[in-house]
Amino acid sequence: MGRIHGIWYRWTSDEQAFFQALSRGTMRGQTREAFESLLGPGKTLNATEDAAQVKIMKKWEAEKHPDAPDGYRPGDVFVQFKVGAGQYYSFQFRDGRLVNHDPTPFATALPFTVLGR
């Protein structure tokens, strides 16, 4: 599920298509390969960008933030996707699997419609 939304997102960078693809086609524990087959290749963050994400994740882990139940471990990889005109969303992978991800909040995005339908 979410495949058509992923295709539309890859063509247009449309935020609603991105959210719908996330809510319908992703889940915690999914492989990076499967995640990127839905959304296209993401950008692996460089050391400076990664350091900023690590700082956020360590802070959330200390606070027991609900968006970070898996915490952070050295070696985790952050992959970023650009949406729309300049918003970026980062996703965390550990040993090639998606962690700290809940697709549920993305389901409340506005409904996605295909033109002409």
The answer to whether 83 and 99 have CB atoms below 8 angstroms apart is no
Quote the tokens at residue 2: 């979410």
Instruction: Give the global pTM.
Output: 0.84
SS3 of 21, please? helix
Q: Which residues are paired to 25 by β-bridges? A: none
> What's residue 61's pLDDT?
84
Per-residue pLDDT of the chain (117 residues; tens, 9 = 90+): 678 999 999 999 999 999 999 999 999 999 999 999 999 999 998 878 888 888 888 888 888 888 889 988 899 999 999 998 888 999 999 999 999 999 988 888 655 555 554
With CA atoms as reference, report the closest residue to 102 among 58, 69, 57, 64.
69
> What's residue 64's pLDDT?
84
